[in-house]
Amino acid sequence: MVVLSLIYPVKLKAACKDYIWGGTRLRTEYHQQSSADKIAESWMLSAHPDGPSTIVNGECAGMLLPDYFAKAGHSVFGTDCAEFPDFPVLIKLIDAKDKLSVQVHPDDAYARAHGEPFGKTEMWYIIANEPGASLYYGFDHKITKDEFKKRIKENTVEEVLNKVSVHPGDVFFIESRTLHAIGAGILLAEIQQSSNLTYRIYDYGRLGKDGKPRQLHIPQALDVTRLDHPTRPTHPQGSREKLGGCSRILLASCDIFTAYEMEINEYQLDANEKSFNSLICIGGEAKLLKGGKEELSFCKGDSVFIPADYGKYTVKGNCHVLMTTV
């Protein structure tokens, strides 16, 4: 049985990562906190053991998100998550001051055959970018496995990648097994399966913090990479809707998550029994009210998790949010 006092909107402190390609915008513009010089990633909603979020308000303040889930029970995920043994979603903000490695993630079947619970499908929402910024999204034409292997060996794989210029509001749905790489000068939100399994293919000859070349995972990448051009468009899945005090657009929907971009002045949302709601604020500020009573306030850089079956609530203010459900 769920303890009712645990069913309230929880504000989260992100786990931050200081990978070598990161910048400083997540600290200076999105108020993320870390003792490291760089913040490459902020894991805004995470129950993953490699970087769990921490609750900062209410009865559970100071508790790690997976510990909260253990105490509150899986019903706070929602009935649409019944098939998942663990919390299925991880949401990050990513500041790529430098380019990321060319990489790929396996599907669930391959991951489980190699001792991991999940593969990784993800979605990118471009928040901001430097002029001329681009990324790699699959191949520009179909190639053979032999050519792929040869190009990896000769460090020429970039010559056959699909290079795409980016703009704020672009959406990239990166299905598992799709080769990809975020380019320099891009700040984005990543909504993904709760997995940290990455096979690095090419890293431009860079050295890690230890002064040694970063590890590559060539055999695994050869096993899993889809060797053709992506078929998904690079724009939101839906069309923009005006709903009273809210403007929203469906970014992407799949078996693991459904994500909307929303601009809200005043709008009622519903965390019903089917799914939790996640709100990541990427601009402005607002209050969350239930029955006319203020539950919490949030602003740019904040993450709020609303448990399933919390019911209807109102967001009031002037904010730009990414809302995710299952």
CA distances (Å), 142 to each of 58, 123, 229, in order?
A: 53, 22, 6
Q: Which residues contact 316 (CB under 8 A, 6 or more apart)?
A: 264, 265, 266, 286, 287, 289
E-strand stretches of 67-198: 89-96, 102-104, 122-129, 134-139, 161-165, 171-174, 180-181, 186-193
CA quadruple 263, 267, 273, 274: dihedral sign: negative
Q: How far is the C-alpha of 326 from the C-alpha of 312, rounded, in Å? A: 17
* DSSP-assigned letter for residue 101: P
Select which of 112, 200, 226, 232 is catalytic: 200
200 in catalytic set? yes
Reference 162, options 144, 177, 178; nearest CA is 178
The continuous run of DSSP H or E covering 110 comes out as helix 108-113
Question: Catalytic amino acids?
Answer: 200
